[in-house]
Homo-oligomer: A and B are copies of this chain.
Amino acid sequence: MTGLGVGLIGTGYMGKCHALAWNAVAPVFGDVAHPRLVHLADVSPELAAHQAKALGFSRATGDWRDAITDPEVDVVSITTPNAFHPQMAIAALEAGKHVWCEKPMAPDFHDAMRMAAGARAARKVAILGYNYIQNPLIRHIGKLIGEGTVGMVHSIRAEMDEDFMADPDALFYWKSEASSGYGALDDFGVHPLSILTMLIGPVAEVMADLARPFRTRPTAGGGPREVETWDIANILIRFASGVSGAIQLSRAAWGRKGRIVLQIFGSEGTITYDQERMNELQLFTRLGKGSEEGFRTILAAPVHPPYDKFIPAPGHGLGFNELKIIEAREFMRQIAGDPAHIIDFEKGLEIERAVHAMAESHRTGNWVSVGG
């Protein structure tokens, strides 16, 4: 059996991450044919050729359409800036390829809808690169909820924080321009939403408060320039299931590097998780003896599949990049028509709908319904 032919557009960090995943998925899982790294595209032929060699692709191009139309290419990884996603994803789908596109779908919701329509029309697999949901422990949280380990879930909290915008003296750059989106809301918000959507289901209503920690930022030229996005977002959220809670997002949280904290409260227990310690989860359930109860620190282990495909011993730890290998396997599963743990363009659209509703609630000061 010949492996899938892979085309890759974009070779920044996420492009490399996709390449590493395509490269490792067969030896890690041992149950699929090696994908063939066929065609790599980047902004110039020179850069593409250099990266193709480093990442192990056979062909290189400065025109992404070459990679999409290559007859040996079966699937296309799209890892370019968000604004390019709609054009590339739709073209790839129209060319009859399966698409693995980095998230979020598009800055503009209308474009995201066009992408979803494109996937429906092409009848090809089209998924988004929400890799956090692939963590064996995040998947185990889903299992715990499904099995009723924490009873009926009634409320949640989520936080996502980094500090790359925390310094007021950092120069103004595109992430502070309105054209880049809302700020933390879409830059970060889609991540906890991807997890919560998986675990809790669709969002019903939202109420957000966006904030600018710094009104202006210095420019290289000298004078300050007004910041147009919001580095901080605080959101009240209600899910269709009746679960409610809050989400808090900040790109200006000094000391936080890759923090995504979840707290899930149920009638029989509590689950918490912190992405900065992605190989641990905390679980509280009653054990019948109050004097010996407490939150358990559970270490990722072979009993949390597919951790076992990587390491046969517990507590040794997976890395962030390895989540992408799991995602590649799930993508292949979906292509093969097997049940897969992925967020496709349809589900992705729901995430973006929620984000835009949040922005609207901030503008109007009112709760906004996230109609389907």
Chain A interface residues toward B at CB < 8 A? 13, 16, 19-20, 23-24, 26-28, 30, 34, 54-56, 140, 144, 149-152, 154-155, 157, 159, 162, 166-168, 207, 209, 211, 213-214, 232, 234, 236, 238, 244-246, 248, 250, 252-259, 263, 265-270, 276-280, 283-287, 290-299, 301, 303-304, 310-322, 365-367
Which residues of chain B come closer than 8 Å to A266, judged between CB atoms? 254
In the complex with contacts A27-B16, A214-B267, A258-B315 CB distance below 8 A: yes
Would A56 and B267 count as touching, CB distance under 8 A? no
Q: How far is the CA of A323 from the CA of B153 in the complex (A)?
A: 36
Beyond the given A162-B315, A255-B294, A292-B298, please list 11 additional residue pairs across the A-B interface where CB-CB is below 8 A.
A19-B27, A23-B27, A30-B54, A140-B291, A157-B159, A209-B244, A234-B236, A257-B314, A258-B314, A294-B296, A294-B299
* Count of this chain's copies in the oligomeric assembly: 4
Which residues of chain B come closer than 8 Å to A234, judged between CB atoms? 236, 244-246
Q: How far is the CA of A250 from the CA of B321 in the complex (A)?
A: 31
In the complex with contacts A54-B30, A317-B319, A296-B292 CB distance below 8 A: yes
Would B257 and A316 count as touching, CB distance under 8 A? yes
Which residues of chain B come closer than 8 Å to A280, judged between CB atoms? 277
In the complex with contacts A19-B27, A321-B310, A304-B291 CB distance below 8 A: yes
Which residues of chain B come closer than 8 Å to A298, judged between CB atoms? 291-294
Q: How far is the CA of A286 from the CA of B162 in the complex (A)?
A: 14
Would B321 and A321 count as touching, CB distance under 8 A? no
Which of chain B's residues has its CB closest to A50's CB?
B30
Which residues of chain B come closer than 8 Å to A213, judged between CB atoms? 154-155, 265, 267
Which residues of chain B come closer than 8 Å to A166, judged between CB atoms? 265, 267
Would A267 and B168 count as touching, CB distance under 8 A? yes
Would A286 and B254 count as touching, CB distance under 8 A? yes
A-B pairs, top 4 by smallest CB distance, nearest first, are A257-B315, A255-B284, A319-B319, A154-B213
Would A276 and B258 count as touching, CB distance under 8 A? no
Q: How far is the CA of A245 from the CA of B145 in the complex (A)?
A: 29
Would A257 and B299 count as touching, CB distance under 8 A? yes
